[in-house]
Structure 1
C-alpha cells in the first residue's frame, strides 16, 4: 500500500486484510452458489410444484420466484449501504450467513409446510430471504474491499467478484452431477455448508473502523456527492442494463435453452462463469489500458452479439460459441461498474456503491418476470391459443417452447445495444478531457 493510501485509511493497518478479503470471497461465493443451485434446480422445481398448479403461467411464476431474490437484494443492499456505519460490516456478514441458512431451508421444506399455491408462496419467500443475504453481503464486502485496497480498487473488486462466477460454477455443477443422486431439495440444502462457515468466520474476525470514522465523510456529504453530480444517475441507469444483460439470462438459460440446443442449459451457465472466473482476474489490468468506459463498451458489444447468437442456437456447438461471446461480454460488467462509481464518486462511499448495486438487482427483478411472460405469451401464440397449447404433448410441445425461448433471448439482446451508445459517449468524452489535460500540461 502506498503511503498516501495508508494515511487515508489508517484503521486497516490493525486488521488482517487477507482474512477479511477471503471472508468477503466466502460470503460472495455462498451467495453465488445459492444462485447457481437455484438456476440448476429450477426445472425440477417447476415440474414438481408449479406445473401442476398453473401450467399456462408456470414460466412467469417460476421467473417471478427467481426474481424475488433480486428484489430483496436490491432493497437490502440500498438500505444496508445507507446504514452500514450504524449496522457494521461484521453484523452485515453475520446476518447474510443466517439468511443463507433460512432461505434455502424455506425452499427445501415448502412441500412439507404447505399445499397447493401456498407451496409456491413458501418458495417465493425462501428466494426472498436468500436475496436479503446476498444484499447484506454486497453492502459490506464492496466498500470493505475499497477500504482495504484504496490504491487498487478496480483490480481487487474484479478479483473479489471472480468468486461470484466461481460460486455459480460449483452450484451449477452440483445441480448437474447430483441430479440423479439427490432430489433437487437435497441439492438446494448444500448451500448450508458455506453459509455456516461464513457465520463462524465472521464472528471470529476483527473488522476495521467504520468508513465514516476513517474518512470523516458524513451521510449528508455522501448524499451531496450523488445529488450534486447528475452524471451519477447515468451510471445508475447503466448498471440496470448491464445487470439485466448478465444476471437475468443466467437464471433463465437452463429453463429456456436445454431442450432446444440439446444440452443442459446449466452447463452453458457453468462454462460462461468459468470464463468470468478467469477473465475477472485480468480485468483491472485491461481497464488500465483502455479505461473503464472503454472496457464496458467492448463488453456491451460482445453481450449483444452473444445474446442474439443464443437466440439462434440450435445445437450444442452453436450454444457453446454463443455462450463464449456472451460470457466474454458480461464477465467484467458488474465489478467494473462498481469500481467506476467508487473512483468517480469517492465521497459517495458505501451509499453510492450500494445504490448502483440495487439498480443492478432491480433490473433482474423486473426483467426476469418479463422474460417469463414473453415466453408464456409466445408459446401460447405459437401453439394457436391456450386450449391448443394445453393439448400439446411430447415433441410438439417442446417445439413450441423452443420457439418461444428463442424469441425471449432475441428481445433481451436489445439491452446491451443501448449500452453501446451510453458507454461510447462516456468513453469519447473522457478521452477528450484527458487529451485536453495533456495538451494543457505540455503547453
Structure 2
C-alpha cells in the first residue's frame, strides 16, 4: 500500500482506511490504559497511599489519577498548534513512547521509598502526555480525511475509546477478582499495544490537516479563536461535558465497589459497552436533531444517571443508573469536537486541541475535588478523624460511612448536566434563530 504523504490530502480509500485504523489503535491504547488505571486505583490506594496517609488517601488517589489528565491537557495545548509543523506521524510515535514510559514509572514507584507519591504523579503526567498526543493528532486528521461526515466519523472513531475501557475493565476484573493477581500486571499491560502502535505508525504517513491544506497560515490559525469570541463558549461547555463523562468514569472503582456489592469497574465496563454501540449512530442522529439538539437531549439522562448512581445499593440499581448515564454522556466528547471543527474550521487542530485541553483540565481539577468531598463526607459521617481511624476494616459501620461518602460525591457532580441543559438550550435557540 502506498502511504499518504504528509503534504497532501489522502488520495484513496485504502490510504484513508490505514490512517483511520492507526488512529483507532492509538485511541484504544489510551482507553485501555485509562481503564486499567481506574481498575487498579483501589489497589494502588491500598498498597501505596494508605500506608502514607490513610485518612487522606482518597484525595491522594484522586490527585494521582487526575495527574494523567494534567499531562493530557498540557500535551494537547502544546502539540495541537504545532501538529502540521511537527507532523502527525511523529506525534503518534511520541504517544506510543509515553504509553510505554508512563506505566514503567508506575511499576518503579514501590522502590521510590519516600518519593512514592511524587513518582506516581510524574508517571501519570507522562502517561497523560501519550493520551494528549493521541487526541491532538487523531481528531484533526480524522476531520481532514472525512470532511463531509465529521460528526459521524469522529463518533465512530471515539467508539473505540469505550471499547478500550471494556477490554481494560474486564481484564481488571479477571486479574483482581478472579485470579487475585498483583496490580503491577494491570499497569504493565498497556505497554504491549503501545509498542505495536509505534511500529505501525512508522509505516504510515499522515496528511496535513484540512486547515493547512486550505492555506490558513500558522498565525491566522492561532488568532482565529480570539477573533471569534463565541469559540470560548464551546471551550467552557467542554469543561462541563468532560466533568460529566470522564470524572465519574475514573471514580467508580474507588466509590461503588464499597456500596453495590460488585467491582465498580464493572459499572464502567457496562457503560462503555453502551457507548461503543451508540456512537456508531451519532451521524444519523446529528442529521435528525443537529449537533446542539443531540447534546441538549443527552443532558437529562446524564443528570438522572449520576444522581441514581449516588443512591445505588445493589448491582441492579447500579446498572439501571449506569444505563441512563451512558445514554446521556455517550455523544458528548466527540460531538463537541466535531461542533468546533465545523463552526471554526480556520482554527484547525489548534481549535480542536483547545477544547480538548478544556476537557482535560476539567478532570484534573474535578477528580481531586471529588476525592476531597469523599474524604470530608466519610470523616463527617464517622464523627471525626479519630472515630474513622477506629473503624474496623470490613465492618458494617465502615461500609455505611463509605456508602455515604460515595453518595455525596456523585450527587455533587450530578448538578453539572443540569447546567449543561441550560447552556445547550441557549446555544441551540440562538443558532436556530439565525437560520
Q: TM-score range by the shorter chain?
A: over 0.9
Higher mean displacement: 176-185 or 336-345:
176-185
In the alignment, what sits opposite 2:272?
273
Instruction: Describe the shift of the 1:154–1:126 C-alpha distance in structure 2 as closer, same or farther (beyond 3 A).
Output: same
Gaps of 5+ in 1: 1-8, 435-443
Whether 2:193 is the aligned partner of 1:194: answer: yes
Spell out, residue by residue over 1:7-66, the C-alpha distance to the aligned partner (whole angstroms, 9 max, x if none): xx9621168110100000000000000000000001111111111110111000000000
- CA contact 1:172–1:267 (8 Å) conserved in 2: yes
2: CA distance between counterparts of 1:282 and 1:92?
Answer: 29
- CA contact 1:81–1:350 (8 Å) conserved in 2: yes
Matching of residues 27-46 of structure 1 within 5 Å: 27-46=26-45
2: CA distance between counterparts of 1:296 and 1:220?
Answer: 32
2: CA distance between counterparts of 1:69 and 1:344?
Answer: 29
Whether 2:116 is the aligned partner of 1:119: answer: yes
Spell out, residue by residue over 1:144-184, the C-alpha distance to the aligned partner (whole angstroms, 9 max, x if none): 00111111111000000000011111111111111125311
Whether 2:12 is the aligned partner of 1:11: answer: no
2: CA distance between counterparts of 1:187 and 1:64?
Answer: 20
Spell out, residue by residue over 1:261-305, the C-alpha distance to the aligned partner (whole angstroms, 9 max, x if none): 111110000000001100000011101100111111111111111
Matching of residues 260-299 of structure 1 within 5 Å: 260-299=259-298
In the alignment, what sits opposite 2:148?
151
Aligned-residue offset at 1:212 = 5.3
Spell out, residue by residue over 1:398-419, the C-alpha distance to the aligned partner (whole angstroms, 9 max, x if none): 2111101100000101111110
Matching of residues 19-418 of structure 1 within 5 Å: 19-112=18-111, 114-116=112-114, 118-179=115-176, 180-209=179-208, 211=210, 213-393=212-392, 394-418=395-419
Structure 2 SS opposite 1:261: coil
2: CA distance between counterparts of 1:150 and 1:331?
Answer: 22
Higher mean displacement: 60-69 or 15-24:
15-24
Structure 2 SS opposite 1:73: helix
2: CA distance between counterparts of 1:84 and 1:332?
Answer: 25
Aligned length: 424
Aligned-residue offset at 1:432 = 2.2
2: CA distance between counterparts of 1:372 and 1:362?
Answer: 16
Which portions of structure 1, spanning 4 or more consecutive aligned residues, are displaced by more than 6 angstroms? none
2: CA distance between counterparts of 1:224 and 1:128?
Answer: 28
Aligned-residue offset at 1:140 = 0.4
RMSD: 1.3
Aligned-residue offset at 1:425 = 0.8
1: CA distance between counterparts of 2:290 and 2:96?
Answer: 35
2: CA distance between counterparts of 1:262 and 1:213?
Answer: 53
2: CA distance between counterparts of 1:13 and 1:347?
Answer: 22
Aligned-residue offset at 1:221 = 1.5
2: CA distance between counterparts of 1:178 and 1:19?
Answer: 33
Structure 1 SS opposite 2:51: coil
1: CA distance between counterparts of 2:269 and 2:164?
Answer: 10
- CA contact 1:85–1:212 (8 Å) conserved in 2: no
In the alignment, what sits opposite 2:4?
none
Whether 2:431 is the aligned partner of 1:430: answer: yes
1: CA distance between counterparts of 2:390 and 2:83?
Answer: 54
2: CA distance between counterparts of 1:22 and 1:182?
Answer: 32
Normalising by structure 2, what TM-score? 0.95
Aligned-residue offset at 1:219 = 2.1
Structure 2 SS opposite 1:150: coil
- CA contact 1:29–1:167 (8 Å) conserved in 2: yes
1: CA distance between counterparts of 2:120 and 2:225?
Answer: 37
Structure 2 SS opposite 1:204: coil
In the alignment, what sits opposite 1:439?
none
